[in-house]
Amino acid sequence: MKFLIICIIFLSATIEAKLKIEISQGSKDLAKIAIVPFSDGKKTNIALSDLIEKNLTLFGEFKATPKNEMLSFPNSEDNFFYRDWNILKIDYAVIGNLEEKNNSEFYIEYFVFNVPLKKLILRGDITGDINELSQISKVISNRTYKAITGLEGIFNTKLAYILNPQKEIYKICVSDIDGSNEQILFESTAPLMSPSWSSDNKKLAYVSFEKGYPEIYMQDLFSGKRESIKTLGLSNSAPVWSPDNKKMAFVMSMSGNPDIYIYDLRNKKISRHTTHYGIDTEPSWSPNSKKLLFTSNRSGSPQIYELTISSNRIKRITLDGDYNARASYFPNGKDIVLVHGNNGIFHIGTKKIRSRFINTISKTTLDESPTISPNGNIIIYATKNNSQGYLAGLTLDGKSKFTLPTKFGSVREPAWSPLMN
C-alpha cells in the first residue's frame, strides 16, 4: 500500500515547541508492549521503532519493554516465537522489516501479536520516504492501537489552543497532539478565544477582539486567509463547526441577552434557535449534527440544555450542582463531558445523557474547557496552578493522568482536531 503524506502548511512563523506531555500518574497494571527494532535482517532501524514506542506510550496507556530486556529481535512472522515474550510477560509485540527500494524510499512490513492469545492480530505494510519516518510511525501506531483496543488511533491528530505568553499578547497556536511542530496561526494584542476545528481539518474558527468587540473569524490553515462572519449582532462568540461541515453554531446578542444561532456555511443565512431572556451560550454539536448542547442560566444558575434543531425543542440535561457548563458530546452521542462546579470548586465531569448522575474525573480545582479525543478515550482540559494556566489530561479508564506544561505564560481553551484522513 503506497503511503501519501499530506502536510498542513501554516503561513506563519514556527516557534519553539512549548507543550510536552508529561505523565503525572500511571497505573501498575498497564498492558506491556514490546516494540522490536525493525530490521532488514542485517541492519536495524531503531529510530522508527523508537517513534512508534513514543506514540503508543504517549498518554500512559501502555508500558514499553526496554530493548535491552528483549530475548530476541524477530523481524517477520516466521521468526517470531511466543515463548520469548511469554517469559517477559509481554501482552503485545510489534515487529517489522524494511526493504530499501531506492536511495530514500523504503517498503515496510509490520506485524502485531497478542502474546497471551498466541495470535497475530495485525499485518500491514507501508511505503514511504526515510525523511518521513515521523508520519510513517504515526500511521503504524494508529493501526496498531486500533488492532489492540478497537479504537481509532489519534497519533496524527492536532491540538489548537490559546497561548498567552505575556500580558496583552495572545496567540492562537496549533501543534501535533504530542506538542511538537507548534505553529502560530494568529497573534494579537487583543484577546483571542474559542478555537474550533472544521470537520475536514482545513480551517479553524475563533473569536477575536482586535476591532474592540468580539467577532468570529474563519481561517484557512493552508493559505492563512481569514474571513469574518458578517452579522447584525452586537456581540458574537463561541463558534463551533457542525460535524457535517455544513453549518456553524454560535452565540449572538442582538439587543441584550445572548442566544444560540446557526450560520449556514453554504448560503450564508443565519437562523435563531433560542429566544429566552436568560443567557444562552457555549453551543456544542451532536455527532449527527441534529442537536446542540448549550449552557444557560434560565433556571437561575448555569446548567446544560439540549436543543433539537429541527423543532427547537429544549430539554434540561443537568440537575445536580450549582454550576454546569461547557458541555460536549462524546463520539457515541450518549455521553457528555462538562465542567461541574460546587462552592467555587470546578472539576471535569462526565455524564450519560439519560442519567442524572455526574461522575467527577479530575482532581484539580479550577478546571475548564474540556476537549475530547476523536476516539472518545482521552480528555484534555485547561486548569491553573496559582495564576498560571496549563493543560492537563486523563484517560477515561482512570489509569493515566498527564500534564502539558508550557515554558512561558499561560495556555488555555484546548480544541482537539477531528481524525486526520
Say how far apart CA 42 and CA 1 lie, in whole Å: 24
Last residue of a domain, one of 149, 167, 183: 149
Q: Indicate if the alpha-carbon torsion angle 342, 348, 352, 354 is positive or negative.
A: positive
Claim to verify: residue 213 and residue 353 sit in the same structural domain: yes
Choose among 322, 324, 321: nearest CA to 306: 324
Claim to verify: residue 111 and residue 66 sit in the same structural domain: yes
Radius of gyration of the chain (CA): 23
Q: Examine residue 45 and state whether it is found in any structural domain, yes or no.
A: yes
Claim to verify: residue 296 and residue 388 sit in the same structural domain: yes
Claim to verify: residue 168 and residue 89 sit in the same structural domain: no
Q: Residue 168 is part of a domain; what is its CATH number?
A: 2.120.10.30
The answer to whether 56 and 64 have CB atoms below 8 angstroms apart is yes
Q: What does residue 49 show for φ and ψ, rounded to 5 degrees? A: -65, -35
Claim to verify: residue 49 and residue 170 sit in the same structural domain: no
Claim to verify: residue 230 and residue 102 sit in the same structural domain: no
Say how far apart CA 353 and CA 333 lie, in whole Å: 8
- First-residue to last-residue Cα distance in the chain: 15
Sequential pLDDT tens for the chain (421 residues): 333 332 333 333 444 446 778 877 767 789 999 999 998 766 667 889 999 999 999 999 999 999 999 999 999 999 999 999 999 999 999 999 988 887 778 899 999 999 999 999 999 999 988 888 999 999 999 999 999 999 999 999 999 999 988 778 999 999 999 988 999 999 999 999 999 999 999 999 999 999 999 999 999 999 999 999 877 667 899 999 999 999 999 999 887 789 999 999 999 999 999 999 999 999 999 999 999 999 999 999 999 999 999 999 999 999 998 999 999 999 999 999 999 998 889 999 999 999 999 999 998 888 999 999 999 999 999 998 877 889 999 999 888 999 887 777 789 999 999 998 7
The answer to whether 220 and 186 have CB atoms below 8 angstroms apart is no
Say how far apart CA 165 and CA 20 lie, in whole Å: 16
3-class DSSP assignment, residue 369: strand
Helix (H) or strand (E) holding 82: helix 82-86
Q: What is the SS3 assignment for 338-352?
A: EEEEECCEEEEEEEE
Q: Residue 131 is part of a domain; what is its CATH number?
A: 3.40.50.10070
For 107, 209, 217, 259, 278, the CA distances from 252, given in Å and listed in that order, are 53, 15, 14, 6, 13
Say how far apart CA 388 and CA 403 lie, in whole Å: 13
Q: Examine residue 268 and state whether it is found in any structural domain, yes or no.
A: yes
Q: Examine residue 326 and state whether it is found in any structural domain, yes or no.
A: yes
Claim to verify: residue 210 and residue 87 sit in the same structural domain: no
Choose among 115, 111, 62, 114: nearest CA to 88: 115
Last residue of a domain, one of 111, 126, 149: 149
Q: Examine residue 7 and state whether it is found in any structural domain, yes or no.
A: no
**pLDDT reported for residue 42:** 67
Q: Examine residue 112 and state whether it is found in any structural domain, yes or no.
A: yes
**Residue 63 CB neighbours (<10 A):** 16
The answer to whether 71 and 77 have CB atoms below 8 angstroms apart is no
Claim to verify: residue 55 and residue 95 sit in the same structural domain: yes
The answer to whether 125 and 103 have CB atoms below 8 angstroms apart is no
Last residue of a domain, one of 105, 131, 149: 149
Query: Domain of 303?
Result: 158-416
Claim to verify: residue 234 and residue 330 sit in the same structural domain: yes
Q: Examine residue 14 and state whether it is found in any structural domain, yes or no.
A: no
How do beta strands 259-264 and 280-285 pair? Answer: unpaired
Claim to verify: residue 212 and residue 338 sit in the same structural domain: yes
Helix (H) or strand (E) holding 139: helix 133-149
Q: Examine residue 46 and state whether it is found in any structural domain, yes or no.
A: yes
Report the amino acid identity of residue 339: V
Claim to verify: residue 196 and residue 141 sit in the same structural domain: no
Say how far apart CA 64 and CA 91 lie, in whole Å: 10
Number of structural domains, the chain? 2
Claim to verify: residue 367 and residue 330 sit in the same structural domain: yes
Q: Examine residue 20 and state whether it is found in any structural domain, yes or no.
A: no
